[in-house]
């Protein structure tokens, strides 16, 4: 038998054994493909968390071309966005308006990745204003007129009135969303982002995917599945 044929035969045997014993031929490596978070986020089994900021250009790019196609390939997983309040001049207000939009989508039974989603409309309105139109809303969050202009960008796109927004801020659901994200450096969104910045994707609340290891939509979906199946 030729040497090349021997190598092909061995490779084929290894692949068969990998299937039999449940060992992936391209098993993920901790530190290279993913990072185990310092503390697991409770009640997040079966989720893919995306930590992001409205002023992050790569977050915008991922949401335009990657996030939805990947989640469609892992349809048994739930997409959970975490906005980072500590990034961007209007980060705090971005978290608040997006949390309100999420609560309204939840009440209407609308998927956050659906084109009808108020969250998606508000998020992309902020993305487009900041990155495409170079809007900065006065770049001073201590000025209420600037804050209102920022909020109106999101609220008008989502079809949410200022009165409904202000009322929703006081609901338990919105407060719980904001508490889960964190509004300071002690929050889960910050814990995720401090590992490698944003965007950051976390599987089951504990496995943070190294964005440098992402090579494509199919491969990222496979990574999510493999991490979800890890014990």
Query: Whole-angstrom Cα distance, residue 112 to residue 47?
Result: 13
The share of the chain scoring above pLDDT 70, in percent, equals 88
Could you give phi then psi for residue 29, rounded to 5 degrees? Answer: -115, 125
Judge contact between 207 and 36, C-beta under 8 A.
yes
Secondary structure class of 140 (helix, strand, coil):
coil
Would the pLDDT of 103 be above 70? Answer: yes
Torsion of CA 198, 204, 205, 208, to 10 degrees: -40
HSE of 213 in the Cβ direction (CA atoms, 13 Å)? 22
HSE of 137 in the Cβ direction (CA atoms, 13 Å)? 27
Query: Whole-angstrom Cα distance, residue 14 to residue 27?
Result: 13
Cross-strand bridge partners of residue 78:
47
**What distances in angstroms separate CA 163 from CA 15, 90, 159, 176, 178, one per listed residue?**
60, 20, 12, 20, 19
Per-residue confidence band for 26, with pLDDT thresholds at 50, 70 and 90: low
Judge contact between 26 and 201, C-beta under 8 A.
no
Would the pLDDT of 197 be above 90? Answer: yes
For the chain, domains (ranges, CATH) are 34-229 (3.40.30.10)
Q: What is the pTM of this model?
A: 0.86
**Each residue's pLDDT tens digit, 131-174:** 999 999 999 999 999 999 999 999 999 999 999 999 999 999 99
């Amino acid at each position: 038998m030729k040497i090349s044929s021997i190598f092909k035969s061995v490779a084929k045997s290894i692949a068969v054994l990998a299937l039999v014993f449940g060992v992936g031929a391209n098993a993920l490596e901790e530190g290279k493909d993913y990072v185990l978070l310092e503390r697991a986020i409770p009640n997040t089994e079966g989720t893919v968390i995306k930590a992001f900021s409205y002023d992050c250009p790569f977050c915008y790019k991922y949401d335009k071309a990657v996030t939805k196609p990947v989640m469609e390939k892992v349809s048994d997983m739930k997409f959970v966005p975490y906005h980072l309040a500590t990034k961007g001049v209007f980060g705090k207000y971005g978290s608040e308006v997006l949390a309100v939009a999420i609560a309204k989508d939840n009440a209407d039974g609308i998927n956050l990745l659906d084109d009808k989603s108020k969250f998606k409309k508000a998020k992309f309105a902020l993305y487009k204003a900041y990155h495409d139109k170079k809007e900065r809303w006065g770049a001073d969050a201590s000025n209420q007129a600037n804050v209102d202009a920022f909020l109106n960008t999101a609220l008008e796109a989502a079809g949410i009135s200022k009165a409904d927004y202000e009322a929703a801020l006081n609901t338990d659901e919105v407060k719980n969303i904001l508490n889960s994200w964190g509004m300071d450096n002690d929050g889960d969104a910050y814990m995720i982002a401090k590992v490698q910045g944003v965007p950051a994707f976390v599987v089951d609340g504990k496995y943070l995917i190294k964005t440098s290891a992402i090579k494509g939509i199919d491969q990222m979906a496979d990574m999510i599945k493999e991490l979800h199946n890890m014990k």
